[in-house]
Structure 1
Amino acid sequence: MKKDGEMKWVRTKVDLDKHVIVPTLHHTIDSPDKTVEDYISNLSKTSIEFSKPLWELHILNLKTSDAESIAVFRIHHSLGDGMSLMSLVLACSRQISNPEALPTLPVKKSSNPDPVNSGGIWWTIQLVWNTIVDVLMFVATALFLKDTVTPLSGGQEKGDGLGSRRFVYRTVSLDDIKLIKNGMKTTINDVVMGVSLAGLSRYLNRRYGEDKEDKGATEKKNNLPKNIRLRATLLMNIRPSPGIHALADMMEKGSKAKWGNWIGSVLLPFVIALRDDPLDYVRQAKATIDRKKHSREAIFTFFIIKMVLKLFGIKV
């Protein structure tokens, strides 16, 4: 609600009929998985009405390859970030073995001491330098530094804007990912990003080779332009207490696991290249992620965005 030109939160009554949506779907659909993807893609073309609480639950009574039915939560980011909303969803869930008990939250134990508190002077110097470079790169990107126009740009290449978004999901074996993680002594995120690097590199190489005469042979050759600048915006939790916490703990006054939007932005570069050894993609991903961990870019971008919103408003 707007009051004196500013957006204000107001108390209201929740009408579930306006929030819980059960569309009519034909059970004779040839491809249920694609139907779900199309449905979610169409949702991305519209926005939630501000005249009601900013959340929706879409229940798709459609059997897919992974589930008997699908529930799609559509929640406005103003209500909270991923950590906050995950805590809320878990608070609405119960254990199968004990329907009265809340789900048990995993506790991550870390035995690595903080190098700053341990007196790592060189580590601290690198941290400061990396942070300065990353923040300057973030500001430059916001003002003028753009990514290379590639087949991944879609409508942006023609100046059509972002266009509609499509969410395509695939189920992969976590055991396979853990096997690579343990063998290379990396993290699950390193392996997932390495797979993404490999997929993007091979896809772009194939697309850039489509205009050549021998398409089959060109897929095995390097058709990639030099110095492709391709980056992703990664949102990071900047709370003093990381991980998912119980909803009651997040709502407690003075808690380090604060409710709301406590996320900073990080520009994550993708090194697009063809490599003979597929594991080199994982090694490259680990190097990139380790470098980003050794920076306070997320904290500074959080305060930069907060300051811009305070000075120029939410519609800037």
Structure 2
Amino acid sequence: MMLTGMHVAIIGGDARQLEVIRKLVELDAKLSLVGFDQLAHHFTGAVKLPIDEVDFPDLDAIILPVHGTTLDGKVNSVFAQEPIPFTEEIVKRTAQRCTIYSGISNSYLDELVRKTERKHVQLFARDDVAIYNSIPTAEGTVMMVIQHTDFTIHGSRVAVLGLGRVGMTVARTFAALGAKVKVGARRSEHLARITEMGLVPFHLNDLEKEVRDIDVCINTIPHLIVTASVIAKMPAHTLIIDLASKPGGTDFRYAEKRGVKAILAPGLPGIVAPKTAGQIIANVLAQLLYEDWQKREENKR
């Protein structure tokens, strides 16, 4: 699987993007790196450029950071002093074949790809990426629980809210460490799966009753579910870790008022294991780029 002849621009990002660069260099893609001027490392086959010097008509793909853009159309990079502008004018300079990749999207990016009619792939919407990412997420959650409690995970009472791709891995991880894990869900098939996993299921309608005796509450649901009335029923020592994307699913204002420690912790893979998180993104990106490249080569024949 080689990408010889494919031209990709990587715009901004953090340490995870370095794994993407390494992988694509290995596959012989031609890379234009924007927002990497403070990166000391040199990659053979990759050229650092300011955004106005990129050969946009020649691009086959643009890779944005996990978070895509800001709401005012900038791309952040830990390897540059200033954010990089990512405008409609820039995207319109690319050929129609150019695909834009990011982890997630927002209203600005959605509108941009709509206006420019470019294909946009959100990697974190894919099941494979989310499942792979749930592993460093679960490890990071263990780290946070250890840091912010004065008791062992073994023997502690843990409630995990949601049995999605992250919730399942988190519940299994804490159970493997000896915690007494119960999992809240709504769908009957999720409640059945929780039972099959050897854990205790409960319906989220009963959340207020179920939190009365817990030590740790781990939320994975991106809606306000850990409300003031739920927090009011928790023991004062309960630690809440919210893994949902911002703004999370917890009433943080009330938690602070009541003295319950509540931590919003999205994006743990990039914090606790940037190398692994980067390799996850790089491997999936390489596969997607290759499939795209193959289709184009076949169409030329």
Bin the TM-score by the shorter chain. Answer: under 0.3
Name the one with the larger strand percent.
2
> Which one scores higher on RCO, CA 8 angstroms, separation ≥ 6?
1
**TM-score, normalization by structure 1:** 0.19
**TM-score, normalization by structure 2:** 0.20
The structure whose Rg is larger is: 1
